[in-house]
Amino acid sequence: MGRGRLPVVYLPKVDERLSSWAARMAPFYAMTVSEFVAALGLQGRDVFDLEWRLSEGQGALIAARTGLSPEAVQAMTFRELGSAARMMIAWKNRFPCPHCPEDLHRKTASLPWRFYCPVHGVEFRDATGETLSDRFGTDCFKQLEGHAESGAAHLDAWARGAGQGDLGVPEVLQVLTARHRRASPPNVCEQPQMSLKDRRDYHDFLTTPIIRQALTVVVPEYDQVAPVLAKPVRPGLHALAQGSLLQCFALTVGIGRIIEDPVKWAISVMLVSDAEGQGRVRQVISLWPLSLRRSISARFWRAERDESARQIAEKAARQRQSHKYRYRIS
Ligand SMILES: [Zn+2]
């Protein structure tokens, strides 16, 4: 093939990324992707590096070889994202759309906080073909979506490197993924109904300690529907970068909720933490802005006092109840 214009060039699809377009083009010329990249005049360049940042010169080279406009070429890159967000970009679509061709990979579908196909408007599926509305139930999913939208807006601003107000995405994720309680085996609600024999057979499962994270406090809906062994998420930003569809959605909802009311959620998490876990939560909150930390301290001791008063009252009520009961049967 000479250095002129390629005879056949596919038009990039809506929101298609460069690596996807190159992987569709290469087989037409019976080439590998790297051979095709070389044929574009960019020998030895990695297509994933190119789609992250394409210099003006490289973009012009591809435009000249393909007849695509330089804008159309640049639109296939992630140039609108800041460097912190690169770890969030998957190599291919994270979660499939049932209507998109399998070999088409869109920029939107590489990010972990997108839950709808930008072209077909339908929910992405997980590896088993299940949607989030299947998993949560339609009503519950609808209620969570509002929080997911504010979480996603915050994540978008962070990914673009724009100012995000007081509280940054990494600082929120550190709280969501903090181990607020000691790891513990599946509790009764988390265990499937089992016969005595099954319980013996599944002894290992029933005694496996599960990591307990603040995400389950901020998004109890996730705690209820997530399979117990797949409930823990990775720490910090990795939770999103490497999460399942369900985990990424729960994290996005959690980010939305915390951004909407950081003080309330920090206190809710601390109130149900054990002593060691509370230390860990306090440590990650110490990275939050001072004004928020002040409000949290001011409200936390009151919340803790109210909580212990409530527990004392509850205990007294229980005792009265049992006295009455004992009196009646004697
Ligand atoms: Zn689609």
pLDDT at res. 1: 52
Rounded distance from Cα 162 to ligand 1 centre (Å): 28
Do residues 61 and 40 make contact, with C-beta atoms less than 8 angstroms apart? yes
Do residues 178 and 272 make contact, with C-beta atoms less than 8 angstroms apart? no
pLDDT at res. 53: 95
Sequence length of the chain is 330
Confidence of residue 328 (pLDDT cuts 50, 70, 90): low
Rounded distance from Cα 125 to ligand 1 centre (Å): 11
Rounded distance from Cα 51 to ligand 1 centre (Å): 21
pLDDT at res. 128: 92
Evaluate if residue 325 carries a pLDDT over 70. Answer: no
Structure tokens at 217: 């406090």
Rounded distance from Cα 288 to ligand 1 centre (Å): 38
Phi, psi of 174 (to 5 degrees): -65, -35
Rounded distance from Cα 32 to ligand 1 centre (Å): 26
pLDDT at res. 197: 84
Rounded distance from Cα 117 to ligand 1 centre (Å): 5
Alpha-helical runs (H) found in 272-289: 275-285
Rounded distance from Cα 228 to ligand 1 centre (Å): 30
pLDDT at res. 330: 45
The overall average pLDDT reported for the chain is 93
pLDDT (tens digit, 9 = 90+) per residue, 150-180? 999 999 999 999 866 679 999 999 999 999 9
Rounded distance from Cα 118 to ligand 1 centre (Å): 7
Structure tokens at 262: 């950081």
pTM: 0.91
Rounded distance from Cα 120 to ligand 1 centre (Å): 5
Rounded distance from Cα 97 to ligand 1 centre (Å): 5
Rounded distance from Cα 124 to ligand 1 centre (Å): 8
Residue ranges of the domains in the chain?
18-79, 88-288
Let me know the angle formed at the C-alpha of 8 by 90 and 19, rounded to the nearest 5 degrees: 10
pLDDT (tens digit, 9 = 90+) per residue, 81-139? 999 999 999 999 999 999 999 999 999 999 999 999 999 999 999 999 999 999 999 99
Of 22-26, 50-54, 192-196, least confident by mean pLDDT is 192-196
Evaluate if residue 271 carries a pLDDT over 80. Answer: yes
